[in-house]
């Protein structure tokens, strides 16, 4: 098992946010590559044709769980959320997961699935659902992780990357509530 942790920020932009707002948000996020805990970061921007639940998902790769608190409390990250995200925000969700294998984002298309599950759900059930989805979405290896830290809304997340990725669909497991985003990947650091 990897020690790497990914922090996710799922963002729906308010209807008044235009292309300039999106560009400013991407630039502000890219500046967070200067944080000592951030090994890499990127964003998946939802395709207009996809049935994504959010417009953007930023992902921040951290070396391990110990880096999560310093990252989340860094004044530059807080300024990003308050000064760049909040004025353009319609909806927001976050997640922190420990990866089961080291992270490699190869490809210009991506999909991200986050699962919410009843408390009585076992981790292996969440993992199995994420792995089944990841295998059906991408021809290349995907990364799966289960939630770490404080109790979180999402119990796990899967990311799939490829040069050509067909539209991702949520799994048909009625037991889980899902958040899905698929689209163009931009590596910001």
Torsion of CA 70, 75, 81, 86, to 10 degrees: 150
* pLDDT, tens only, 41-95: 999 999 877 788 999 999 999 999 999 999 999 999 999 999 999 999 999 999 9
Q: How many other CB atoms sit within 10 Å of the CB of residue 122?
A: 10
Question: How far is 168 from 186, CA to CA, in rounded Å?
Answer: 18
* pLDDT, tens only, 103-161: 877 778 888 999 999 888 899 999 998 988 887 775 666 889 999 977 789 999 999 88
CA distances from 8 to 112, 122, 160, 175 (A): 10, 22, 14, 23
The residue segments making up the domain with residue 40 are 5-187
Structure tokens at 28: 């502000």
| Residues with Cβ within 8 Å of residue 40, at least 6 apart in sequence | 33, 61, 103, 105, 187, 189
Q: What is the CATH number of the domain that holds 88?
A: 3.30.70.100
Structure tokens at 147: 């939630």
Number of domains into which the chain is organized: 1
């Amino acid at each position: 098992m990897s020690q790497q942790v990914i922090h996710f920020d799922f963002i729906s932009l308010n209807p008044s946010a235009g292309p300039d707002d999106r560009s400013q948000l991407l630039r502000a996020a890219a500046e967070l590559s200067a944080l000592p805990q951030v090994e890499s970061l990127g964003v998946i921007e939802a395709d207009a044709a996809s049935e994504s639940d959010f417009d953007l998902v930023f992902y921040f790769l951290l070396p391990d769980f110990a880096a999560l608190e310093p990252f989340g409390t860094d004044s530059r990250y807080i300024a990003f959320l308050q000064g760049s995200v909040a004025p353009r925000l319609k909806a927001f969700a976050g997640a922190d997961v420990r990866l089961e294998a080291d992270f490699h984002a190869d490809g210009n298309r991506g999909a991200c699935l986050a699962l919410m599950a009843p408390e009585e759900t076992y981790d292996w059930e969440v993992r199995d659902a994420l792995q089944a989805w990841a295998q059906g979405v991408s021809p290349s290896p995907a990364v799966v992780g289960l939630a770490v830290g404080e109790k979180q809304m999402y119990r796990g997340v899967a990311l799939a990357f490829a040069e050509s990725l067909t539209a991702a669909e949520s799994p048909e497991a009625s037991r889980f509530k899902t958040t899905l985003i698929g689209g163009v990947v931009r590596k910001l650091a």
